[in-house]
A and B are shown apart, each in its own frame.
Chain A
Amino acid sequence: MSTPPAWSHYLPRLGLYAGVAAVLLLVNVGLPRLLNAYLLQILVFAACNIILASSLNLVNGVAGQFSIGHAGFMAIGAYMSAWVSVAYGKTWLAPYADQPCGPLVVSAYLMGLMLLGGVAAAVGGLVVGLPSLRLRGDYLAIATLGFGEIIKVVLLNVEAVGGATGLKGVPQYSTLFLVFGAAVVTVAALRNIGNSIHGRALLAIREDETAAEALGIDSAHYKTSAFVIGAFFAGVAGCLYAHYTQFIHPRSFDFMKSIELVLIVVLGGGKLRNVAIAAAAVTFLPEGLRQVKDLLHLQTDPRMVIYAAILIAVMLLRRERVLQAVLPRRKEGASRG
């Protein structure tokens, strides 16, 4: 019974890990030679959006807690890690710059920062998760919106992290290997959480909180944990983002960013694979729409108008398909007492 399985039992899994690592290494070496800096940056943004959207999917999709302040957690992770890098990291890592082991040291350092940014954001998630115990539906949405805006205003006023001028001179430590690797790990981890007992409990709460509690599910614990876990991964994405763009500003993490993430989750319909596809699509779409301006010889950029129109059209035309998994089947309007 308790004998551990033979080592060959783990072989397929080890093979998978090795394969993923090899592909990531190939991407890390190959893509910069194939694509220009602009395309690489879009790819990195797409990967960040995949991390952000799949973590938001845990809160919005699986647990059914409608949050529109996810960019705030990203901001916490980005600012925390970028500040450490600007204030200390650069000088720590300076001696390794010319040595052959340099890239490895930098990668190890950034992984530590990802953890730090993630934990800082998770603390923020706890702060937001606690009020979520008392609020539901659109009140919770508004409270999370308020939380995101508070973070933005606070960051705009803290001079130590640049205030309204933004934080400049963040070293570019994010590599394609780390960014895509983090995206793969995040999606895998969230998929496993979703399929675990933990995930089932969250699903039960989404479907009917009262019934779930009657079955012995500690809804307060699970709801808070969804916020904490979701915020953690958003913080990781923020750290990677800051160490790729080398400049961050509070306005990069405003309401628009949160809405973009909600849009991705809704488009993905709650299924992680579809969320990842939607994250990539939503990142590429506005970039593609930039071309429209040149084609039509317009003075101003119409891409945001088209973007908003697509959002409305999707909601009106395909909501059954799109919302299938995100929203409780029960009509909420029917249950008000």
Chain B
Amino acid sequence: MLQQLVNAISLGAVYALIALGYTMVYGVLRLINFAHGEVFMVGAFVGLAALSVFHLPFAAAVLVAMLGAALLGMVIERGAYRPLRNAPRLAALITAIGVSLLLQNIGMLTVGAAPNPYPPAIEPTPIPWLKEHARLVVTEQQLVILAATAAILIGLSLIVSRTKIGKAMRAVSEDRQAAQLMGINTDRVISFTFCLGSAIAGAGGVFYGVYYGTADPLMGFMPGIKAFVAAVLGGIGSIPGAMLGALLMGLVETGVSSVTIPLSSTETLSGSTLRDAVAFTVLILVLLVRPAGLLGRPTREKV
């Protein structure tokens, strides 16, 4: 049980890193950035190159991946979303899906569709003390990833709550027009938001690759969608909500995967095959029961 909890938190941490980008971009632009999962994927590959081609240490590889992803996020915003800033929102949504497809397929073209082995960076050997005394398999790798995630999340909270640009971000997500009238350069703030969200997703990509030992061009799709579900669950636009939602998603998924449902005397239905369906069922239920999410503010339709 406790073991499942450890796995759930590890999974939830990766989802949180992706979900934050979704929620921040949605906050400032009211746009579901469908390409965010692919930014995560590109981050993983940049990290892979840094680790296995340039033999950089783990921390440096994470930083390089964050930089690469941030750059990509900025380019996507500048090239694909900015021209549609005043277009109907669905136009931007369709473009975002196009960018997602483009990145996936460029990935397939350059590195191929087969999974690439990912160097473990830190050997996943269980910590002996915990294994002997609590029969828990917790690896040093898991601990490093969790610590790094926590550091990133705290850093992000500080940037958003304490810095000038963070204040500007909050202002823009409150009301873009009003923020602009107050002399905030909204284009710069939006660009910065993409940078920040993408950098975090890039770090998530490296952690995911290291944790699961593989990377492929389609790896971003499902985690991306699930992180989005997490962001909606927590209340999209809310940063603590995204973290909470991601943790809950990790718990639900790990819980469902560990259950085996007996269908008949011979057949059983393993929960792990239904994992993806459960994620979406959670999403639809949340949207129906509490559309604003757990920590989101309910919006009222103006007539």
Contact = CB atoms under 8 A, between A and B. Distances in A.
Interface of A: 66, 68, 131, 134-135, 137-139, 141-143, 145-147, 149-150, 153-154, 156-157, 159, 210, 256, 259, 262-263, 266, 300, 302, 304-305, 307-309, 311-312, 315-316, 319, 323, 326-328, 331-333, 335-337
Contacts of A304: 101, 104-105, 108
A319 B287 contact: no
B109 A302 contact: yes
Interface in B281-301: 281, 283-284, 287-288, 291, 299-301
Interface residues of B, number: 47
Contacts of B269: 157
Nearest 9 CB-CB pairings of A with B: A337-B302, A146-B280, A308-B102, A308-B101, A311-B98, A153-B277, A304-B105, A312-B98, A327-B88
Interface stretch (B78-86, B147-155, B180-188, B244-252): B78-86
Interface stretch (B89-97, B137-145, B205-213): B89-97
Given A266-B94, A316-B95, A326-B90, 4 more contacts: A131-B287, A259-B101, A315-B98, A323-B87
A315 B32 contact: no
A259 B93 CA distance: 11
26 contacts: A68-B97, A131-B284, A131-B287, A139-B291, A141-B93, A142-B232, A142-B283, A142-B287, A146-B280, A150-B281, A153-B277, A154-B277, A157-B269, A157-B274, A159-B267, A266-B94, A300-B109, A300-B112, A308-B101, A311-B95, A312-B102, A316-B83, A323-B90, A323-B91, A327-B88, A336-B30
B288 A150 contact: no
B134 interface: no
A316 B84 contact: yes
Interface of B: 30, 32, 80, 83-84, 86-91, 93-95, 97-99, 101-102, 104-106, 108-109, 112, 225, 228-229, 232, 267, 269, 273-274, 276-277, 280-281, 283-284, 287-288, 291, 299-303
A326 B90 CA distance: 10
B105 A134 contact: no
A149 B276 contact: yes
Contacts of A142: 32, 228, 232, 283, 287
Given A131-B284, A323-B91, A305 B105 contact: yes
A284 B83 CA distance: 29
Contact of B283 (A66, A146, A262, A311): A146
Contacts of B109: 300, 302, 305
A335 B302 contact: yes
Contacts of A143: 283-284, 287
B91 A315 contact: yes
A305 B102 contact: yes
Given A308-B101, A337-B299, A138 B108 contact: no
A337 B225 CA distance: 27
Contacts of B299: 336-337
A66 B80 contact: no
Nearest to A332: B89
A149 B277 contact: yes
A134 B99 CA distance: 29
Contacts of A331: 86, 88
A156 B273 contact: yes
A316 B79 CA distance: 9
Contacts of B90: 66, 137-138, 141, 323, 326-327, 332
Contacts of A327: 88, 90-91
Contacts of A137: 89-90
Contacts of A309: 98, 102
Contacts of B101: 256, 259, 304, 307-308, 311
A305 B84 CA distance: 21
Nearest to B113: A300
A157 B87 CA distance: 41
B211 to A, nearest CB: 23
